[in-house]
Amino acid sequence: MVPGDGLILTQLRRGALEYCVLAMLQGGRLYGLDIARRLAARQVLMSSEGTLNPLLARLRKAGLVSTTWQESTEGPPRRYYELTGPGVEALAAFRLAWAPFRDAVDAALTDGER
């Protein structure tokens, strides 16, 4: 790793992480810890689980996800997250914007090598 790359990843995560969570929920509702584990498996997406709960709370307050509680056989009730209609729309808008943005960044990085 090079100096400053932690800051770079933090900035990149800030813009994309909530949409990664929305995309995960497209397959159905998930428990918060399941979301954290999936993000952690892709190490670059989440630096710590402590960042996930505030993000999920923001998504819920924005109406992009809904929550339900379910009893657990392994402890206290669990909060599950599910994509809402506005969440589906937000994810679709992100997908439309992402590809041209990614391509433009890739082109700028490639052009800089010449």
**pTM of the predicted protein model:** 0.83
Q: What digits encode the pLDDT tens for the residues 25-54? A: 999 999 988 998 888 887 777 766 677 889
Tokens of 4: 């400053």
Flag whether pLDDT at 103 surpasses 80: yes
Total number of domains in the chain: 1
pLDDT recorded at residue 113: 66
In a domain, 47, yes or no: yes
Domain of 58, in residue numbers: 29-112
Mean pLDDT, the chain, integer: 87
CATH number of the domain to which 63 belongs:
1.10.10.10
Domain assignment of residue 35, yes or no: yes
Q: Rounded to whole angstroms, how far apart are CA atoms 72 and 91?
A: 30
In this model, does residue 79 exceed pLDDT 80?
Answer: yes
39: tokens are: 């993000």
Residue 1: pLDDT band by 50, 70, 90 thresholds?
very low
Residue 33 lies in a domain: yes
User: Residues near 65 by Cβ (< 8 Å), separated by ≥ 6?
Assistant: 21, 22, 25, 56, 59, 81, 82, 83, 84, 87
Please check whether residue 23 lies inside any domain of the structure. no
> Is residue 90 situated within a structural domain?
yes
Residue 101 inside a domain? The answer is yes
Under the banding of pLDDT at 50, 70 and 90, the label for residue 100 is very high
Residue 24 lies in a domain: no
